[in-house]
Amino acid sequence: MGQQKIRVAVVFGGRSTEHAVSCASAGLILSAIDRDRYEVLPIGIATDGRWVLTSGDPVRLALSAGSVPSVESVSVGDGEIVPRAGAVLQVSEPGAVPRDLGAVDVVLPLLHGAYGEDGTLQGLLEMTGTRYAGAGVFASAAGMDKEYMKLLMSARGLPVGRYVVVRDRDWRSVAERKRVLDEIAELGWPVFVKPARGGSSIGITRVSGFGELEPAIEAAREHDPKVLVEAAVDGIEVECAVLEGLDGAPPEASVPGQVVVDPGSSFYDFEAKYLASATTMRIPAPVPSEAAAEIRRLACAAFDAISCEGLARVDFFYTPAGKILVNEINTMPGMTPASGFPMMWAASGLPLPQLVDRIIQTALRKRPGLR
């Protein structure tokens, strides 16, 4: 008699601006997950927050210049999730979260950005005692907020660049706005203006002089009332993928890779990330071996600095002088065919089906709650 398969809810889409990216991540993972071991429930969260069962068709979930995938386009309606014995997620509001989501062995939240990668979904799963892959509530929230991410990195002695935080209250007060703008001018030009809790470069502007600053801050504020302004770092972008160690072992880092941005883009913006065919990953990154070792060490230290679990991708700048700076940590890195995380693990000897397996198995070994 064959054993009952492990039931995995792959949750994707979501309410954030990264809905389409999440669909593309799900498309890749759904095409690689081992169906002999896992029974997969492809659950989409529509942009309005509704949870629906989907076909999970990887072809329709692909992201390209000509097609922006959405949960809507693969939805097969709700109410079709076959219940199974076990803990059941109880919701009293109709049409919110499927009642039977709790009857899965583990949730794989392939969501990027707000309401998915920021601890909110993780909180919901904690409340319902559902096992899930990846970072918990705190690490998700800390990784999402670029201000606190940097504070935690600095507190752990990790190198980060110079930046100024523009809070909503600062921006609304004439005197505070002036103080903050003066502080920003001291960073030198260019600067990068970004929403504190954004992703996929959405809302980010490279600003080369004071005249462009206020419109860029306003643009970032469309996505988050808190904005970060950072001194531009001159250097190449190097990423490193991290996995939680097995059975309590320290985290493991992949071979680092360099993002080679499409020459038509001024930085690694949304277009360069997902649509430009000329953006590529160079793996291993062309840095001296001591620098690669240091990047791997820092990637694991960054993972631990926010108490991350499961997986993460840590992004760095490597300057012409050989300095390494942490740019950010992503607790649910992109998993699209153009994304560094799956590529760097493949180059490190962990092909995608095994990578997905490892992420799910790590989650299954933990108890829900204070895991």
Q: Would you tell me which residues interact with ligand ADP (CB under 6 A)?
A: 161, 192, 194, 198-201, 204, 230, 232-233, 237, 267-268, 315, 327-328
The residue among 38 and 316 lying less far from ligand ADP, judged by its C-beta, is 316
The residue among 102 and 198 lying less far from ligand ADP, judged by its C-beta, is 198
Which stretches of the chain are DSSP H helices?
A: 19-32, 120-127, 137-144, 146-155, 168-172, 174-185, 213-221, 270, 289-305, 340-347, 352-364
3-state helix vs strand vs coil in the chain, percent to 5? 35, 20, 45
The answer to whether the beta carbons of residues 263 and 276 sit under 8 Å apart is: no
Q: How far is the CB of 310 from ligand ADP (least distance, A)?
A: 19
The answer to whether the beta carbons of residues 253 and 300 sit under 8 Å apart is: yes
Tokens, residue 333:
């890195």
Spatial CB neighbours of 54, under 8 Å, sequence gap ≥ 6: 42, 43, 44, 71, 74, 75, 76
Tokens, residue 99:
């009642």
Q: How far is the CB of 212 from ligand ADP (least distance, A)?
A: 15
Q: How far is the CB of 170 from ligand ADP (least distance, A)?
A: 20
**Residue showing tokens 């995380």:** 341
Q: How far is the CB of 237 from ligand ADP (least distance, A)?
A: 5
Query: Cα dihedral sign for 191, 193, 199, 200?
Result: negative
The residue among 56 and 195 lying less far from ligand ADP, judged by its C-beta, is 195
How far apart (Å, rounded) are the C-alpha atoms in residues 275 and 283?
A: 20
Q: Which residue is nearest to ligand ADP (CB)?
A: 268
- Triad 82, 87, 89: Cα angle to 5°: 75
Backbone angles phi, psi at 145, to 5 degrees: -90, 110
The residue among 253 and 332 lying less far from ligand ADP, judged by its C-beta, is 332
Q: How far is the CB of 99 from ligand ADP (least distance, A)?
A: 34
Q: How far is the CB of 323 from ligand ADP (least distance, A)?
A: 13
Spatial CB neighbours of 315, under 8 Å, sequence gap ≥ 6: 237, 238, 239, 240, 326, 327, 328, 329, 330
Q: How far is the CB of 235 from ligand ADP (least distance, A)?
A: 8
How far apart (Å, rounded) are the C-alpha atoms in residues 101 and 130?
A: 9
Q: How far is the CB of 338 from ligand ADP (least distance, A)?
A: 13
The residue among 118 and 328 lying less far from ligand ADP, judged by its C-beta, is 328
The residue among 105 and 328 lying less far from ligand ADP, judged by its C-beta, is 328
The residue among 194 and 358 lying less far from ligand ADP, judged by its C-beta, is 194
Run of H or E residues at 313: strand 311-318
The residue among 42 and 198 lying less far from ligand ADP, judged by its C-beta, is 198
